[in-house]
Structure 1
């Protein structure tokens, strides 16, 4: 029974992995290696590799949660106890996380996805155009005199 659940959910990772490989024309191991060597050479590839890693990690969490739930269900009488319901909720949360990451990967691979063309894409490109090293407008420290003039009463004395 656990094979049915795991095989169905693992297909999400398998299908997206195949799409990534077709999109970039190389296997995931090659793509990961290329991104590791030159992460700035292809920002799209770098993002896809990062999110594919998140997807694989979330699938592993989901697989463990499903295994734990199935093990608990095998020992349950006809009614399910609270700890087992907690495991079921953990599975639901893991599915949600995995599916969300899968959506990000799908979006990254779709050049026609909403937000990738038009005004939204232009705004995003302006934000991404190199990380700012400083303020947008050049600034300088305000001019301050080196010492307090002697003509100021109380200059140089501590005020309590």
Structure 2
């Protein structure tokens, strides 16, 4: 962007992309393709690619929010109206989301970061996505003639 608001912030995305590419010795497109082909082969790479994608998405949302705010500010008299203030709040929220995702990417790239070793790492590993659902997602098979259990729900509402 040439507006100056987030030029430095956009550099964060670029710098983190460079760090990812250096860490995995391939460019982002190659890394994304490798993760898509074998997501379980390198869980660290899979996590980094996922969060990098979320970071890029958050930066895009921020860019649009900033553009909307700048356009609104250009039409404002000396006082800012409520819809323009809402746009400013949206920019702040977008900055927070982008910065949070950038922090996660930095954490994922730092093998010595707190929580990356020992018991915390083992606990995190248990939270990684599984290949199948953690709970049964379909109704259990019932023998013919066995009535369905009463569920307490009718027409999408709890029975009172």
Cα shift at 1:121: 2.1
- Residues 131 and 69 (structure 1), Cα distance of their counterparts in 2 relative to 1, 3 Å cut: same
Greater gyration radius: 1
TM-score, normalised by the number of residues in structure 1: 0.76
Contact 1:62-1:95 at 8 Å conserved across structures: yes
Cα shift at 1:2: 4.9
Cα shift at 1:117: 1.4
Cα shift at 1:122: 3.2
Matches of residues 83-98 of structure 1 in structure 2 within 5 Å? 83-98=83-98
Matches of residues 58-77 of structure 1 in structure 2 within 5 Å? 58-77=58-77
What is the alpha-carbon distance in structure 1 between the residues aligned to residue 105 and residue 36 of structure 2? 18
Cα shift at 1:4: 1.0
Matches of residues 94-113 of structure 1 in structure 2 within 5 Å? 94-113=94-113
Question: Aligned with 2:57: secondary structure?
Answer: helix
- Residues 109 and 4 (structure 1), Cα distance of their counterparts in 2 relative to 1, 3 Å cut: same
RMSD: 2.2
Pick the structure with more helix per residue: 1
Q: Report runs of 4+ in structure 1 exceeding 6 Å deviation.
A: 129-135
TM-score, normalised by the number of residues in structure 2: 0.76
Cα shift at 1:19: 0.6
Cα shift at 1:128: 5.1
Cα shift at 1:127: 5.6
Residues 55-93 of structure 1 deviation map (CA, whole Å, 9 limit, x = unaligned): 000000000000000011111111111110000000000
What is the alpha-carbon distance in structure 2 between the residues aligned to residue 128 and residue 107 of structure 1? 16
Residues paired across the two proteins, number = 135
Contact 1:2-1:70 at 8 Å conserved across structures: no
Q: Which residue is equivalent to 1:22? A: 22
- Residues 130 and 57 (structure 1), Cα distance of their counterparts in 2 relative to 1, 3 Å cut: closer
Task: Structure 1 unaligned segments of length 5 or more: list them.
Answer: 136-160
- Residues 69 and 116 (structure 1), Cα distance of their counterparts in 2 relative to 1, 3 Å cut: same
Question: Aligned with 1:77: secondary structure?
Answer: coil
Cα shift at 1:119: 2.5
Q: Which residue is equivalent to 1:80? A: 80
